[in-house]
Amino acid sequence: MRATLHRLQAQLADMDPSWLISICATDHRLRIFAPLLLERCGEVTSSLAELLAIPLAESQRRLVICDDSLSDGGAVELVEQLRQRYGRDRCRVLIVVDPAISQQRLEQLWRCGPDGLCCLEHCGNGEGMQAILSALQGIACCDHDLQRRLQQPYRPCSGRPGADQLSTRDLALIQAVARGHTSRQIGALLQLRSDTVRRRLSALYRRLQVRDQRGLIAWALQQGVLHSCDLLSS
């Protein structure tokens, strides 16, 4: 195992020096151990806002290694905003997920178009570093266990709307509600007017057949849209 890790570290050291590696995660294992294994690891942040505040020179490119429980959103929002700002050529994203991730959320993450998906429990045996190398080389990669799960897609029950019907905007709104933000705070976060936020929430309640924010959060937890770690106010 040690020889494998040394070989992968040497390969990473030989990659194009214009690539910077950044960590954007709340999981302490990623935040502590990734920089120890990766000599080229630079910034370690816990939110999308922190990451976006770090400038990227015209001559530089960035690989972001993230989890799905950022303090201001999930990995879907991170992929979308980084791609809008830098494009795929200058910014690539490797999402590291917990092995207990729900099938619905796993499929949502894969559909958002990351450059790789890796299971947290496999990162220490070299698979994480191999996934980083693949992402830097422009090769989409997926952990073998996660790939097996993606080949057996989730089928929501008929009747009540399922998580597969949510847009990226809906997901961002639900994440913000789960963190205890007010309509004004959500508006500032999503660059919307407070009354627009309230209208969108009301429309979302009707569409998902829930009565209020508590019902929305309960629905999102049941569907796998939210995780228990999301239920934290900022």
Task: Tally the domains of the chain.
Answer: 2
Q: Count of CB atoms within 10 A of residue 84's CB?
A: 9
Same domain, 51 and 134: yes
Structural domain ending residue among the three candidates 87, 122, 150: 150
Cα-atom radius of gyration of the chain, to the nearest Å? 18
Contact between 187 and 181 under an 8 Å Cβ cutoff? The reply is no
In a domain, 156, yes or no: no
What's the pLDDT score for residue 67? 92
Q: Is the pLDDT of residue 91 over 90?
A: yes
Q: What b/e string do you get for 11-42 counting C-beta neighbours within 10 Å, with b at 16 or more?
A: ebeeeeeebbbbbbbbbeebbeebbebbebbe
106: left (phi over 0), alpha (psi -120 to 50) or beta: alpha
Measured CA to CA, the distance from residue 181 to residue 187 in angstroms comes to 9
Domain range holding 199? 163-228
Q: What angle do CA 97, 44, 25 make, to 5 degrees?
A: 25
Q: Is the pLDDT of residue 58 over 70?
A: yes
Measured CA to CA, the distance from residue 180 to residue 168 in angstroms comes to 19
In a domain, 234, yes or no: no
Structural domain ending residue among the three candidates 117, 150, 183: 150
Whole-structure pTM value: 0.65
Structural domain ending residue among the three candidates 150, 176, 205: 150
In a domain, 158, yes or no: no
Please indicate whether residue 221 or residue 51 has the higher confidence score (pLDDT): 51
Q: What angle do CA 106, 165, 170 make, to 5 degrees?
A: 85
Contact between 43 and 23 under an 8 Å Cβ cutoff? The reply is yes
Average pLDDT over residues 94-102: 87
CATH code assigned at 98: 3.40.50.2300
Q: Is the pLDDT of residue 33 over 60?
A: yes
Average pLDDT over residues 127-131: 82
